[in-house]
Protein backbone atom coordinates (compact mmCIF):
# COMPACT_ATOMS: atom_id res chain seq x y z
CA UNK A 1 0.00 0.00 0.00
CA UNK A 2 2.19 2.83 -1.29
CA UNK A 3 0.49 6.16 -1.90
CA UNK A 4 2.17 9.51 -2.30
CA UNK A 5 0.65 11.54 0.49
CA UNK A 6 1.20 14.74 -1.48
CA UNK A 7 -1.25 13.43 -4.08
CA UNK A 8 -3.81 11.76 -1.83
CA UNK A 9 -5.61 14.62 -0.19
CA UNK A 10 -2.86 15.34 2.31
CA UNK A 11 -0.61 18.35 1.92
CA UNK A 12 2.84 18.32 3.50
CA UNK A 13 3.22 22.05 2.92
CA UNK A 14 -0.05 22.85 4.69
CA UNK A 15 0.34 24.08 8.28
CA UNK A 16 -0.34 21.21 10.64
CA UNK A 17 -2.66 23.26 12.77
CA UNK A 18 -4.93 23.65 9.74
CA UNK A 19 -4.77 20.04 8.54
CA UNK A 20 -7.86 18.77 10.29
CA UNK A 21 -10.36 15.98 9.93
CA UNK A 22 -11.66 17.09 6.54
CA UNK A 23 -8.19 16.88 5.01
CA UNK A 24 -7.55 13.57 6.72
CA UNK A 25 -10.78 12.09 5.36
CA UNK A 26 -9.90 13.26 1.83
CA UNK A 27 -6.50 11.59 2.10
CA UNK A 28 -7.91 8.35 3.49
CA UNK A 29 -10.59 8.24 0.79
CA UNK A 30 -7.95 8.40 -1.92
CA UNK A 31 -5.75 5.79 -0.25
CA UNK A 32 -8.74 3.50 0.31
CA UNK A 33 -9.45 3.24 -3.42
CA UNK A 34 -5.78 3.16 -4.45
CA UNK A 35 -4.99 -0.36 -3.24
CA UNK A 36 -5.93 -3.70 -4.78
CA UNK A 37 -7.12 -5.17 -1.50
CA UNK A 38 -10.15 -2.87 -1.58
CA UNK A 39 -11.37 -4.19 -4.92
CA UNK A 40 -10.68 -7.81 -4.10
CA UNK A 41 -12.40 -7.60 -0.71
CA UNK A 42 -15.48 -5.95 -2.21
CA UNK A 43 -15.63 -8.55 -4.99
CA UNK A 44 -15.39 -11.33 -2.41
CA UNK A 45 -18.14 -9.67 -0.41
CA UNK A 46 -20.46 -9.45 -3.41
CA UNK A 47 -19.79 -13.02 -4.53
CA UNK A 48 -20.34 -14.40 -1.04
CA UNK A 49 -23.57 -12.55 -0.27
CA UNK A 50 -25.31 -12.69 -3.63
CA UNK A 51 -23.89 -15.99 -4.91
CA UNK A 52 -24.60 -18.03 -1.80
CA UNK A 53 -28.01 -16.39 -1.53
CA UNK A 54 -28.89 -17.52 -5.05
CA UNK A 55 -27.73 -21.07 -4.38
CA UNK A 56 -29.68 -21.24 -1.14
CA UNK A 57 -32.90 -19.80 -2.54
CA UNK A 58 -32.69 -21.95 -5.66
CA UNK A 59 -32.69 -25.05 -3.49
CA UNK A 60 -35.57 -23.60 -1.49
CA UNK A 61 -37.65 -22.69 -4.54
CA UNK A 62 -38.41 -26.32 -5.38
CA UNK A 63 -39.11 -27.43 -1.80
CA UNK A 64 -41.85 -26.91 0.77
CA UNK A 65 -42.56 -23.50 2.24
CA UNK A 66 -40.31 -22.25 5.03
CA UNK A 67 -41.33 -19.97 7.87
CA UNK A 68 -38.47 -17.52 7.32
CA UNK A 69 -37.21 -17.43 3.71
CA UNK A 70 -35.28 -14.22 4.45
CA UNK A 71 -32.83 -16.27 6.49
CA UNK A 72 -32.09 -18.37 3.43
CA UNK A 73 -31.84 -15.37 1.10
CA UNK A 74 -29.30 -13.72 3.40
CA UNK A 75 -27.26 -16.84 4.16
CA UNK A 76 -24.35 -15.37 2.19
CA UNK A 77 -24.01 -12.53 4.69
CA UNK A 78 -22.65 -15.05 7.20
CA UNK A 79 -19.59 -15.41 4.95
CA UNK A 80 -19.63 -11.86 3.61
CA UNK A 81 -19.06 -10.49 7.10
CA UNK A 82 -15.54 -11.94 7.00
CA UNK A 83 -14.78 -10.16 3.73
CA UNK A 84 -15.84 -6.78 5.14
CA UNK A 85 -13.91 -7.49 8.34
CA UNK A 86 -10.74 -8.27 6.38
CA UNK A 87 -11.19 -5.04 4.41
CA UNK A 88 -11.48 -3.12 7.67
CA UNK A 89 -8.28 -4.73 8.93
CA UNK A 90 -6.32 -3.88 5.78
CA UNK A 91 -7.35 -0.22 5.87
CA UNK A 92 -4.68 0.39 8.50
CA UNK A 93 -2.60 -2.79 8.84
CA UNK A 94 -1.44 -2.57 5.22
CA UNK A 95 0.08 0.84 5.98
CA UNK A 96 2.03 -0.62 8.88
CA UNK A 97 3.20 -3.48 6.68
CA UNK A 98 4.60 -1.15 4.00
CA UNK A 99 5.77 1.62 6.31
CA UNK A 100 3.36 4.09 4.69
CA UNK A 101 1.99 4.86 8.15
CA UNK A 102 5.09 6.99 8.82
CA UNK A 103 4.13 9.33 6.00
CA UNK A 104 0.55 9.48 7.21
CA UNK A 105 1.56 10.35 10.77
CA UNK A 106 4.16 12.88 9.66
CA UNK A 107 1.46 14.82 7.83
CA UNK A 108 -1.19 14.36 10.51
CA UNK A 109 0.51 13.86 13.91
CA UNK A 110 -2.80 13.66 15.77
CA UNK A 111 -3.42 9.92 15.94
CA UNK A 112 -7.04 10.38 16.95
CA UNK A 113 -7.74 12.33 13.75
CA UNK A 114 -6.08 9.64 11.61
CA UNK A 115 -8.14 6.90 13.24
CA UNK A 116 -11.34 8.97 12.98
CA UNK A 117 -10.72 9.62 9.28
CA UNK A 118 -10.15 5.94 8.58
CA UNK A 119 -13.31 5.07 10.54
CA UNK A 120 -15.39 7.60 8.62
CA UNK A 121 -14.20 6.25 5.26
CA UNK A 122 -14.52 2.59 6.25
CA UNK A 123 -17.87 3.08 7.94
CA UNK A 124 -19.27 5.13 5.07
CA UNK A 125 -18.16 2.70 2.38
CA UNK A 126 -19.28 -0.27 4.46
CA UNK A 127 -22.71 1.23 5.00
CA UNK A 128 -23.30 2.15 1.35
CA UNK A 129 -21.98 -1.18 0.05
CA UNK A 130 -23.85 -3.08 2.75
CA UNK A 131 -27.18 -1.44 1.95
CA UNK A 132 -26.74 -1.96 -1.80
CA UNK A 133 -25.85 -5.61 -1.28
CA UNK A 134 -28.72 -6.06 1.13
CA UNK A 135 -31.34 -4.81 -1.32
CA UNK A 136 -29.77 -6.49 -4.36
CA UNK A 137 -29.46 -9.82 -2.54
CA UNK A 138 -33.10 -9.65 -1.51
CA UNK A 139 -34.35 -8.70 -4.98
CA UNK A 140 -32.35 -11.50 -6.61
CA UNK A 141 -33.45 -14.05 -4.02
CA UNK A 142 -37.04 -12.87 -4.24
CA UNK A 143 -36.94 -13.32 -8.01
CA UNK A 144 -35.65 -16.88 -7.60
CA UNK A 145 -38.45 -17.66 -5.13
CA UNK A 146 -41.13 -16.04 -7.29
CA UNK A 147 -44.07 -18.41 -7.64
CA UNK A 148 -42.82 -20.77 -4.93
CA UNK A 149 -44.51 -21.34 -1.55
CA UNK A 150 -41.59 -19.57 0.14
CA UNK A 151 -41.96 -16.33 -1.80
CA UNK A 152 -41.86 -13.25 0.44
CA UNK A 153 -42.96 -9.81 -0.74
CA UNK A 154 -40.93 -6.66 -0.21
CA UNK A 155 -43.77 -5.15 1.77
CA UNK A 156 -44.11 -8.10 4.14
CA UNK A 157 -43.75 -7.22 7.85
CA UNK A 158 -40.14 -7.06 8.96
CA UNK A 159 -38.54 -7.26 5.49
CA UNK A 160 -37.50 -3.61 5.29
CA UNK A 161 -36.06 -3.85 8.80
CA UNK A 162 -33.87 -6.79 7.75
CA UNK A 163 -32.68 -5.00 4.61
CA UNK A 164 -31.66 -1.82 6.41
CA UNK A 165 -30.14 -3.43 9.50
CA UNK A 166 -28.17 -5.99 7.48
CA UNK A 167 -26.32 -3.17 5.74
CA UNK A 168 -25.65 -1.49 9.09
CA UNK A 169 -24.36 -4.80 10.47
CA UNK A 170 -21.78 -5.13 7.69
CA UNK A 171 -20.60 -1.55 8.23
CA UNK A 172 -20.12 -2.20 11.95
CA UNK A 173 -18.21 -5.42 11.29
CA UNK A 174 -15.88 -3.46 9.03
CA UNK A 175 -15.30 -0.94 11.82
CA UNK A 176 -14.63 -3.74 14.30
CA UNK A 177 -12.03 -5.15 11.91
CA UNK A 178 -10.48 -1.69 11.64
CA UNK A 179 -10.50 -1.34 15.42
CA UNK A 180 -8.76 -4.68 15.95
CA UNK A 181 -6.06 -3.78 13.41
CA UNK A 182 -5.60 -0.34 14.99
CA UNK A 183 -4.76 -2.14 18.22
CA UNK A 184 -2.64 -4.98 16.79
CA UNK A 185 -1.19 -3.38 13.59
CA UNK A 186 -0.30 -6.78 12.08
CA UNK A 187 -2.52 -7.95 9.18
CA UNK A 188 -2.33 -11.70 9.82
CA UNK A 189 -2.80 -11.35 13.57
CA UNK A 190 -5.69 -8.92 13.16
CA UNK A 191 -7.49 -11.13 10.63
CA UNK A 192 -7.02 -14.12 12.93
CA UNK A 193 -8.36 -12.12 15.88
CA UNK A 194 -11.36 -10.97 13.86
CA UNK A 195 -12.14 -14.54 12.78
CA UNK A 196 -11.73 -15.68 16.37
CA UNK A 197 -14.18 -13.10 17.68
CA UNK A 198 -16.79 -13.75 15.00
CA UNK A 199 -16.53 -17.53 14.58
CA UNK A 200 -14.28 -19.34 17.06
CA UNK A 201 -15.59 -17.54 20.14
CA UNK A 202 -19.15 -18.53 19.20
CA UNK A 203 -18.15 -22.19 19.01
CA UNK A 204 -16.30 -22.03 22.32
CA UNK A 205 -19.22 -20.41 24.13
CA UNK A 206 -21.65 -22.99 22.77
CA UNK A 207 -19.60 -25.70 24.52
CA UNK A 208 -19.76 -23.96 27.90
CA UNK A 209 -22.22 -24.73 30.74
CA UNK A 210 -25.76 -23.53 30.10
CA UNK A 211 -25.66 -20.63 32.54
CA UNK A 212 -22.57 -19.22 30.78
CA UNK A 213 -24.16 -19.69 27.36
CA UNK A 214 -27.21 -17.71 28.51
CA UNK A 215 -25.02 -14.97 29.99
CA UNK A 216 -22.58 -14.56 27.10
CA UNK A 217 -24.16 -15.70 23.82
CA UNK A 218 -26.29 -12.60 23.29
CA UNK A 219 -23.14 -10.44 23.18
CA UNK A 220 -21.44 -12.43 20.40
CA UNK A 221 -21.28 -10.70 16.98
CA UNK A 222 -22.23 -13.86 15.07
CA UNK A 223 -25.35 -14.37 17.17
CA UNK A 224 -26.30 -10.73 16.75
CA UNK A 225 -25.92 -11.18 13.01
CA UNK A 226 -28.14 -14.27 13.05
CA UNK A 227 -30.98 -12.20 14.53
CA UNK A 228 -30.39 -9.32 12.10
CA UNK A 229 -30.48 -11.54 8.98
CA UNK A 230 -33.88 -13.01 9.80
CA UNK A 231 -37.49 -11.99 10.36
CA UNK A 232 -37.46 -13.78 13.71
CA UNK A 233 -34.75 -15.34 15.90
CA UNK A 234 -33.52 -18.69 14.51
CA UNK A 235 -34.88 -21.83 16.21
CA UNK A 236 -31.50 -22.49 17.87
CA UNK A 237 -32.12 -19.42 20.02
CA UNK A 238 -35.44 -20.74 21.33
CA UNK A 239 -33.87 -21.51 24.72
CA UNK A 240 -31.06 -18.93 24.61
CA UNK A 241 -31.63 -15.23 25.41
CA UNK A 242 -30.74 -12.91 22.53
CA UNK A 243 -30.90 -9.18 21.97
CA UNK A 244 -33.36 -7.66 19.57
CA UNK A 245 -31.70 -6.80 16.23
CA UNK A 246 -31.55 -3.07 17.01
CA UNK A 247 -30.10 -3.61 20.49
CA UNK A 248 -27.57 -6.01 19.03
CA UNK A 249 -26.43 -3.38 16.52
CA UNK A 250 -25.97 -0.89 19.35
CA UNK A 251 -23.78 -3.44 21.15
CA UNK A 252 -21.66 -3.85 18.02
CA UNK A 253 -21.34 -0.07 17.74
CA UNK A 254 -20.02 0.01 21.30
CA UNK A 255 -17.48 -2.72 20.45
CA UNK A 256 -16.27 -0.72 17.45
CA UNK A 257 -16.04 2.53 19.44
CA UNK A 258 -14.07 0.88 22.27
CA UNK A 259 -11.63 -0.81 19.87
CA UNK A 260 -11.06 2.35 17.84
CA UNK A 261 -10.62 4.41 20.98
CA UNK A 262 -8.15 1.92 22.43
CA UNK A 263 -6.28 1.76 19.14
CA UNK A 264 -6.05 5.55 18.95
CA UNK A 265 -4.68 5.69 22.49
CA UNK A 266 -2.12 2.96 21.79
CA UNK A 267 -1.01 4.71 18.59
CA UNK A 268 -0.35 7.86 20.58
CA UNK A 269 1.88 5.90 22.96
CA UNK A 270 3.65 3.55 20.57
CA UNK A 271 3.95 5.38 17.26
CA UNK A 272 6.02 8.35 18.33
Q: Residues 97-151: pLDDT tens digits?
A: 888 888 888 888 888 999 999 999 999 999 999 999 999 999 998 888 887 777 8
Q: Residues 181-232: pLDDT tens digits?
A: 999 999 999 999 999 998 888 888 888 888 888 889 999 999 999 999 988 8
CA distances from residue 47 to 44, 80, 133 in whole angstroms, order as listed: 5, 8, 10
Instruction: Tell me if 116 sits within 8 A of 27, measured CB to CB.
Output: no
Alpha helices by DSSP H, listed for the chain, are 21-32, 36-46, 52-61, 69-73, 77-98, 100-107, 111-145, 159-184, 187-195, 201-206, 210-216, 221-228, 245-270
CA distances from residue 219 to 215, 229, 244 in whole angstroms, order as listed: 8, 16, 11
State the chain's maximal CA–CA distance in angstroms.
Answer: 67
Q: Quote the pTM value.
A: 0.88
Q: What is the rounded CA–CA span in Å between residue 269 and residue 233? A: 43
Q: How many residues does the chain have?
A: 272
| Coil, helix or strand at residue 65 | coil
Q: Residues 28-73: pLDDT tens digits?
A: 999 898 887 788 888 888 988 899 888 888 877 776 667 788 888 8
Q: What is the rounded CA–CA span in Å between residue 2 and residue 113? A: 20
Least Cα distance to 83 among 172, 193, 170 occurs for 170
Give the pLDDT score at 238.
Answer: 80
Instruction: Tell me if 39 sits within 8 A of 62, measured CB to CB.
Output: no
Angle formed by the axes of helices 36-46 and 111-145, to 10°?
Answer: 30
Least Cα distance to 75 among 222, 229, 223 occurs for 229
Amino acid sequence: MSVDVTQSGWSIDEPRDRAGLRHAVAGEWTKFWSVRSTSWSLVALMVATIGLGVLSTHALSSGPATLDPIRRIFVGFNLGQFAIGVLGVLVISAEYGTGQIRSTLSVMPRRSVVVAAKAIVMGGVGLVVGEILSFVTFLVGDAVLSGSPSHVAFGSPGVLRVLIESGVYLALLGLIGLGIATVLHNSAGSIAAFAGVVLVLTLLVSAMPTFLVHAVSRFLPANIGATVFALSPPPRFASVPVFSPLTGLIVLAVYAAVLLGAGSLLMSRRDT
